[in-house]
Structure 1
């Protein structure tokens, strides 16, 4: 099978479907296709099926800018989010453009032809399919869909109960009336505990160190009230603007006044848990937003702990036993089931190494341009959302920017552009300013950020809106190939033209 399209999108999750919808809206003349390695769309929201799976961001900002979220719940369950993604795909005629079961194994750029060649293998058949495109959009997310991260636990083979990673949860897993130990303290763990505590005999969250946890309203009562008197689209825009401001305000305050924010978070948690609760289990040693803040709708985690349906233990694992887990303190946690909510295994661009004019490109050595394009990679974008706010806010901006760039090049007859950084623009700054384990383990895989201008990653939607959405005039660092290229190499094709959007 061989097929050519103007734009090829890798990944049919929240980002990929959103990118396709933006192409429909802003580049209606362009053909596109989506390659998805799994058998269905939805990405994260189709893959994860563990109890209580939900967003940890409000849907007014996790939703697309062009499609209002109309449910009363602003903190939504996974099934509702998946349905929202599928609705978007149907409304914009995207469903028919997705080819499932396609595992991309190689991507090659050819300057003479000014196009990408993408080779994919059809799952379970080893049948090779070739796609070519003028612009390639990587919407693969940031983690390995095949397996999550699980550290080596001494003696785990002795355990007679069931061990499951949340990423591998299936509908036939039963935990009713069982003693469950959840290893972890992040967003997945704090979601699992209240969801399982209603049916399990007891649920214990075993953590090496605490995380900051904040109760948030499950419903946006302001928006519910405004819907009675204002159009849905206006209510959505107002809620989106309000929540963006709150997210940014909390993040900035956390960075500027970490001790004050820490006191507020611990006071709020103690108010939920009661004066007799041991707050060492919710008192991290790091500052707020050095790692991602965990949000729990209506304080469901705190309620489960206060009602004694569940408990938290802060300790280190010595080894597994036949009946549970022995801790460094000598205490033994009896368990019938252990859930390893130990994090994600990051994988960038599906683990594929791009090739440009015959030369492999290590994305981990490249700079990111405006949080979207990658240095040395022609007509290529990579979607990576915010860590301190909703993922889709950034994904929307990136998709819009790519559409404007495509339209500009099309209008000017320019075949492609390449971000180029000067030597003095490189820095050792990591792409993500987080101390989380999954980020630390994958720093070498992520693109780097520069020390200034479009090469610097600012985790701020307001900043990016000005820089990306409303950018005008010449764009330093972005070079365009001359019209009707004759040479074979990028260097020979690049001209001094600056980017100007009309």
Structure 2
């Protein structure tokens, strides 16, 4: 690769703000910068060839949102459909319509893979190195915003499936689904119990001969109405804009209330969620053990099924889908040997008293395809090396999050993160609001850098809090690579979307910041 470097004096920069990533976070940030800081020179760099982020990457059958689009969509442009859950291609189409309507395309630069970010106190700027068309470019900016998500786009979570190397059929990870693969009339096993597996099962069943969801432990799976959802009173009585604002805040607040209920009344919440799960399952289908998790709702994510598509696929006289709860002993050339297996199959020899099929099933035979839907590999902000004044790459696990938007002792660097127990976009939007307010404050005060620092008083009483308060396997594996929160403001995590947004728009966003000049 060649290297193109343009020399500049210390006071010159190419951009005021460089945003990394053209997914939902990056596009939202571009809009906020355009409207709140119209004099700023901004650019959005995307490694891929199109907008969409997650929704441009994932191509597996039925890929869709796992939260409602009324809150996942942009606050400044309402989701145009009455269906709260939508497939990936519709989300990308919505994003492109928003980009065109608000002329955000002028900021977008595709096929630019960011390689590193280096801060210079002397020049009070970032040097962002990126690869484009085989060449390495270096651009400078006062601010950098990392909006590239929370997982590794290139490496999936390494799943420990004993004997997988013995399998003679096809093995697919959903993150790298081959778009032209024909799985018609295939016998498929999906390993996993999270949102991806639950999405795949009913969609694969439309063409496959048979699909089995093989899980070690179950998740909470709740059906919500999607197609033909009746209009709410707000949609009937209010203008479109007013109704969308009400709808967004209602969904966001209701979800927050449900999480609080689970946190403070775990026994009651477990009973209520269990009722919802049982009510959505086919007649005669026992939720134990296949839909009876060992944890309280929202200790791990709750999975949504639009109009109960998963539950419907498990029903009927001759269902093409089943759930097997077991531990994998080993994968063979054409099957999977199991330990402690329980099957949800409704028919066949060995059905137990609960209609759960043969409790002694030990092997899944004649398998054509194994889909390893075992999770994503968490990677903080795309794994981009970040250095300050020529030092070693910042070790994120040694840094604390300031207002869930910046990191201790790293100047002029913002990161976009959403909620684990609510929709993603309100969290990213809170960071965008904080960014624009800090930017305007610095312009007014004539300063060129803002650095979060933990003061002596806060340090004396600080206690660690985890980056995401989940017990999910992918979260536990990534723990040592993620930054930390504290238990005192402004180092506490966001945990109340309505309050967090109000604070981001009108609260104190200079507390804990130290400002510098060139």
Alignment TM-score > 0.5, same fold: yes
Change (3 A) 1:222 1:414: farther
Deviation of residue 222 (structure 1)? 5.3
Residue 220 of structure 1 and its aligned partner are, at CA, apart by: 8.0
With 434-443 and 147-156 compared, the bigger mean Cα shift is at 147-156
Three-state SS of the structure 2 residue aligned to 1:146 is: coil
Give a deviation string over 1:93-126, Cα, whole Å, max 9, x none. Answer: 2223222222222211111211100111225x2x
Distance in 2, matches of 1:415 and 1:276, equals: 66
- Residue 373 of structure 1 corresponds to which residue in structure 2? 406
Q: Please state if 1:151 is matched with 2:159.
A: yes
Q: How does 1:66-465 map to 2 (within 5 A)?
A: 66-122=76-132, 125=134, 127-219=135-227, 221=229, 223=231, 226-227=234-235, 229-274=237-282, 276-279=284-287, 280-307=289-316, 308-329=319-340, 331-334=362-365, 335-360=367-392, 361-422=394-455, 423-424=459-460, 426-465=462-501
Q: Per the alignment, in what secondary structure is the counterpart of residue 327 of structure 1?
A: strand
Query: 2:355 matched to which residue of 1?
Result: none
- In the TM superposition, residue 39 of structure 1 has moved relative to its aligned partner by 1.8
Query: Are the equivalent residues in 1 in contact too, given 2:143–2:413 (CA < 8 A)?
Result: yes
Aligned-residue RMSD, C-alpha:
1.7
How many residue pairs align between the two structures? Answer: 480
Residue 35 of structure 1 and its aligned partner are, at CA, apart by: 1.4
- Bigger drift between 42-51 and 172-181 goes to 172-181
Change (3 A) 1:62 1:276: same
Deviation at 1:359, TM superposition (A): 2.2
Residue in 2 aligned with 1:493?
A: none
* Of 20-29 and 264-273, the range deviating more from structure 2: 264-273
Deviation at 1:24, TM superposition (A): 0.9
Is 1:59 paired with 2:90? no
Q: What does the per-residue CA deviation read over 1:127-182, in whole Å, with 9 as the maximum and x for residues that have no partner?
A: 11011001110101011111321313232222221110111112211121111110
For the Cα contact (< 8 Å) 1:223–1:239, is it kept in 2? no
How far has the Cα of 1:289 moved from its partner? 0.7
Q: What is the 5 A alignment of 1:31-46?
A: 31-46=41-56
The DSSP-based 3-state class of the residue aligned with 1:61 is helix
Pairing 1:18–2:43 present: no
Does the 8 Å CA contact 2:71/2:426 hold for their aligned counterparts? yes
Structure 1 residue 270, shift from structure 2 partner? 1.6
State the shift of 1:446 in Å.
Answer: 1.4
Contact 2:404 2:417 in 1 (8 A): yes
Structure 1 stretch 223-232 or stretch 302-311: which is displaced more? 223-232
Q: Is the 8 A contact 2:234 2:246 kept in 1?
A: no
C-alpha contact 2:282 2:312 (8 A) present in aligned 1: no
TM-score between both structures, scaled by the size of structure 2? 0.89
**1:249 to partner: Cα distance:** 1.1
1:476 is displaced (CA, Å) by: 2.9
Secondary structure of the structure 2 residue equivalent to 1:206: strand
Contact 1:426/1:449 (<8 A) preserved:
no
Equivalent residues of 1:9, 1:139 under 8 A apart: yes
Deviates more, 1:188-197 or 1:345-354: 345-354
- The offset of 1:225, in angstroms, is 6.4
Instruction: State the alpha-carbon separation in 2 of the partners of residues 60 and 33 from structure 1.
Output: 27
Question: Would you identify which runs of 4 or more consecutive aligned residues in structure 1 move more than 6 Å?
Answer: none
The answer (yes or no) to whether the contact 1:158–1:321 under 8 Å persists in 2 is yes
- 1:359 aligns to what SS in structure 2? coil
User: What is the rounded CA distance, in whole Å, between the counterparts of 2:452 and 2:75 in structure 1?
Assistant: 27
